[in-house]
Amino acid sequence: MKEGPDIARIAALIGDPARANMLAALIDGRALTASELAAEAGVTKQTASSHLARLSEGGLLAFESQGRHRYFRLADQDVGHALETLMGLASTRGLSRTRTGPKDPALRHARVCYGHLAGEMGVALLNGMVARRWFKPDDGLSLTPSGRRALIDFGVDIPALENLRRPLCRPCLDWSERRHHLAGSLGEALFDRIAARNWARREKGTRVVYFTPNGERALVKWLG
């Protein structure tokens, strides 16, 4: 490609299986050490260090030092959004993993995608809010005045989110549902409120989100 952004470099960074596994392990927004990422990728610590250096230099990872350890995370939500989109593309092309794990059905039902809710429940949440005309499904997603009031009443600090240097809301193509769920700072804040109400909880160390029976009923009632 002679014009425009150099996508080949980014594609090469993500395209290595070990680096792809490392990035996928961070898509829930956690920060992990080099040793933990080496285990996720199935490589030695020395090899992992080389991969992590390349991902950091390429702008896909950020890190912070604490004591003797460096903790790596995705550089920003744009990287998480790109990874989820690539997962959807791989799924639609039949490029699934040879072995599915026992958590696969749970991941498809509800999971975290860089801090916001994804899977069946994430898609249902966005569809319910669009049906209530809290969002306009235009070129992206725009929050309507009634949606703004409803989310503020739910406990989301919309004015504070609007002052951030991040998109308030954006559609994110869900790899398992192949429809959109809500991303952006609003998507993260909304999931935080759902968790704070004990409607759902994350399983420690995974992307899986479990809704309680009462939580699912409460969410349905809230969405009318």
70 and 105 belong to one structural domain: no
pLDDT at 96: 63
120 and 29 belong to one structural domain: no
51 and 107 belong to one structural domain: no
pLDDT at 100: 47
Among candidate residues 58, 75, 92, the one where a domain is terminated:
75
71 and 108 belong to one structural domain: no
176 and 216 belong to one structural domain: yes
pLDDT at 3: 67
pLDDT at 95: 64
Q: Please indicate, yes or no, if residue 66 is contained in any of the structural domains.
A: yes
How far apart, in Å, are the Cα atoms of 129 and each of 13, 56, 123, 189?
36, 37, 10, 15
CB 84 within 8 A of CB 175: yes
Rg of the chain over Cα atoms, rounded to whole angstroms, equals 18
Q: Please indicate, yes or no, if residue 108 is contained in any of the structural domains.
A: yes
Low-confidence ranges of the chain (pLDDT < 70): 1-4, 94-103, 139
Report how many domains make up the chain.
2
The CATH number for 42's domain is 1.10.10.10
Q: Report how far residue 17's alpha carbon sits from residue 163's, in angstroms, rounded to the nearest whole number.
A: 38
115 and 216 belong to one structural domain: yes
Q: Report how far residue 204's alpha carbon sits from residue 170's, in angstroms, rounded to the nearest whole number.
A: 27
pLDDT at 94: 67
Parent domain of 161:
101-222
Q: Please indicate, yes or no, if residue 148 is contained in any of the structural domains.
A: yes
